[in-house]
Every structure is written in C-alpha cells, then in structure tokens.
C-alpha cells in the first residue's frame, strides 16, 4: 500500500480510504456489522489505514460499526468523520454552529468508541452560520475539549476555498 501525508497533520494515510456510508441499517442497500466485518478485515489486510464515516450515515450506526470493528486497531488507523447535516428536529440539530460541532463531535466519539477523531470534516458548508463561529469551534476542538474528547484535525470539507479562505486547522498549527 502506498501512503501520503494528510495535509499538514503529519499523519500518513493509505492512498485508499474505505468509505463506510454503506455500513448500517437505515436503507436496504446498507450492510450491518456481520457483513461489514470482512470488508474492514480485507481493507486492513491490504494495508488500508484510512477510514471515513459520518454522524448521519444510518443515523450514527455507521460510526458504531466502524468503532466496533476498529477498536483493536485504533493506534494504527486514521478515522475521519463529518458534521453538518441534520441529526433530528429542531434548530440546533444541524449546521456548523459551535454548539452543533461540539455536540456532534462528543456523540461521534462515543459511537466510535475512541477518545479522538483524526480528521473531522464539514459535510457541507453552512451558509447560515457565520464562518467565524465555525472556525472558532474548529480551533477550540483542536485544542482538546475536556467535555467531549479531541479532534486532531478539522477540515472545511466541500466548502469552496473562496468561502473561508483556508479553513483547515490542525493541532500542529494553522494552515
């Protein structure tokens, strides 16, 4: 397996990342843990160390499956997750507000059975939240949030660069 550096994080990640949107049970095309296990095992056997999920994939079930299947490999894998999309009814259940980012990071950490998310990404941009609020939350998260664990790197995801200039922050400095 070939590896590349992940931005300015210092992390080396496999050139292939296993996306896990299909892990869960909220759609008939999704696979539960029994069928996901051989997929993850094969990826690990091939040297894949980069796994991507999101808080909304199968209402969080994807993160639970990823956490369970990677718990014995946590020190040798890089886990990415995402935040932004709706997690329920109400005004604080979606978006990139400081509240939603921190709340969802805490819940993702619990589902993933880990104390850190290596790469936390915005799933989509949130035009209704001031960019400064999102970036303040990103900076706060990168400095360890005592109530919710730690996010090692935050990335603006699919946001166009003109929206936020450069909205990637890591523990190793600002980009």
Predicted pLDDT at 59: 81
Q: Give pLDDT < 50 ranges for the chain.
A: 141-143, 146-147, 159-175
Predicted pLDDT at 57: 83
Q: Give every CB contact of residue 32 below 8 A, 6+ residues apart in sequence.
A: 23, 24, 25, 65
Kindly provide the residue ranges of all beta strands, DSSP E only, lying in the chain, ordered along the sequence: 3-5, 12-14, 17-19, 50-52, 78-83, 116-117, 119-122, 150-151, 153-155, 169-170, 173-174
Contact 144, 163 (CB under 8 A): no
For the packed helices 33-45 and 61-70, what is the interaxial angle rounded to 10 degrees? 50
Contact 20, 37 (CB under 8 A): no
Predicted pLDDT at 122: 74
Catalytic sites, residue numbers: 57
**Domains along the sequence of the chain with CATH:** 3-174 (3.20.20.100)
Q: Which residue has the tokens 């069928």?
A: 35
Burial class from Cβ neighbours inside 10 Å (0-12, 13-18, 19+) for residue 16 reads: middle
């Amino acid at each position: 397996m070939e590896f590349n550096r992940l931005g300015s994080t210092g992390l080396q990640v496999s050139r292939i990342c296993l996306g896990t949107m299909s892990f869960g049970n909220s759609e008939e095309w999704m696979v539960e843990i029994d069928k996901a296990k051989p997929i993850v095992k094969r990826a690990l056997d091939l040297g894949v160390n980069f796994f991507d999920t999101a808080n909304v994939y199968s209402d969080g079930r994807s993160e639970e499956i990823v956490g369970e299947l990677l718990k014995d490999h946590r020190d040798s894998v890089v886990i990415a997750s995402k935040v932004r999309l709706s997690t329920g009814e109400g005004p604080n259940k979606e978006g990139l507000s400081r509240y939603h980012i921190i709340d969802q990071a805490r819940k993702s950490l619990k589902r993933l059975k880990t104390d850190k998310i290596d790469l936390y990404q915005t799933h989509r941009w949130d035009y209704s939240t001031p960019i400064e609020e999102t970036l303040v939350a990103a900076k706060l998260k990168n400095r360890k949030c005592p109530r919710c664990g730690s996010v090692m790197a935050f990335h603006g995801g699919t946001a166009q660069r003109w929206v936020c200039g450069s909205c990637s922050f890591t523990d190793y400095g600002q980009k």
